[in-house]
Structure 1
Amino acid sequence: MRRFTSTKGLLGICLVTLILLIAILAPLLIAPEAATKMNMTARLHPPSLEFLFGTDQLGRDLFARVMLGTGTSLGIAVTAVLMSVIIGLPLGMISGYFGGWIDNILMRLVDTLLSFPALLLALTISAVLGPNTQNTIIAIGVAFTPFLARIIRGEALRVAQMPYVEAARAAGTTDTRMLIRHVLPNIVPPVIVQATISLAFAILAEAGLSFLGLGTQPPAASWGLMIQASRDYLDVAPWTALVPGGAVALTVLGLNMFGDVLRDVLDPRAR
């Protein structure tokens, strides 16, 4: 537990906690219309006491948009990663535990998906399904599934060769019971770590899809949408890009540091 109390670990925990609190409390404290209300007399207003983060090209309050956009971006990322775990967990467990032709078939399917860069695969799926929040979740979830499936398969393969698993198999334990009682509990820690790290990449993927017009659609508040809308005003109003860009950077940084700490704590070899 020594590593968990390091400066890096504490900073990661603080950032992740702050992001979660904003995502939960912002919809309760800030009216939804505050993020979409236009005020052309205050367009491109710099940060001030009235507008803490300034305003965008339509006079919308960037503070309200960034705060409410936290829930949007984080919600999409969490749901997409959860979807990839739900799909990748049984694929990886079955492939690693049974091996043989089952492993060959499942892993060739996974390798086919891995041959495409994750963001390119997500872009293709979003373009085919159409740009909206639900399809963005599906696109990111499918794109991240092969990475998780590969990691889970490796862990399941390792656990399946353990002496206690061999003993349980010799005692006549069924494969289903073996997977649930012996394999699954022992691969949960690396799955949690990888899912946490995948959240950071999912945040970037959501911002990238929204930036390209294939993710969250206007007038919803999304970090990627705000960055996309600011590209024509960087010279006169740089805060319109720096604020949402900073939110993405801090979120990714916090999740990466938190994932590293979880890996150190949950890794049996580190203990």
Structure 2
Amino acid sequence: MKSKKPRIVIVSGSSSGIGKELCALYRAAGDTVIGLSRRGGDNGDIAVDVTDYAAVENAVNEIATRYGGIDTVIANAGGGLSGATELLPLDEVQAQMSLNFTGALNLVRCALKHMQAGGRAVFVSSACALFALPYRAIYCASKAAVNMAAFGLYMELKKHGIKVTSVCAGDIKTNFTANRVKYAEGGERYGDAPKISAQKIDSREHKRMRLQPAAKKIYKCCNKCKKPMYIIGFKYKVLNFLRHILPQKLFLDITAKLF
């Protein structure tokens, strides 16, 4: 039986969490994986800040030249931000959008230049792209932007044989919560609400999906790549269903009470 040709796979945010697990899964399948992260690392991973377009372009061009092209790109790098939207420092808002949205788009756009029919572009998004949360509005907005970019590319590239999908994952046990940039200041208008909201979310850490099983589900979605979007986590699928059948005001009011 003829063995399959190893795929050339790029994964951003590869130094920890979902990205690290995805790299391991692709390597276990015999593929050639190049991870991108700010720290770099072992296995030929490259130190790159995805918000720096020139740096991303140079790294991707180097990979494509070395291996003769790119088969799969997974834009996974990202971070979190919480706090009262009105009071968040503007530079933090811009940094969040730059990392989660522009950084993902930078990587995919650069990789597409070296991708032929049969290629795959995957955006690792979030369940927060589907429904907003109070005091996490900017994070939700950045991930919603990722979804819209993925859907647009899905339509643009379909006839060219390149598959594009967005994987909306729910809460997973990684360092994401610990690394989230948090602003608890509420001022006269919000009081302790931003702090209490963050504490509620953090208190559910033990209820999050385990990393390895969740990463395997994401990996399967990356390989299928048959739909423009996948949702990881049963409760998030239910919430997405409710979002479509309930009046928007009612859904938002319920979400506000929960968080």
Q: Does TM, normalized by the shorter one, top 0.5?
A: no
More helix as a share of residues: 1
Bigger Rg, structure 1 or 2: 1
More strand as a share of residues: 2
What is the TM-score normalised by the length of structure 1? 0.27
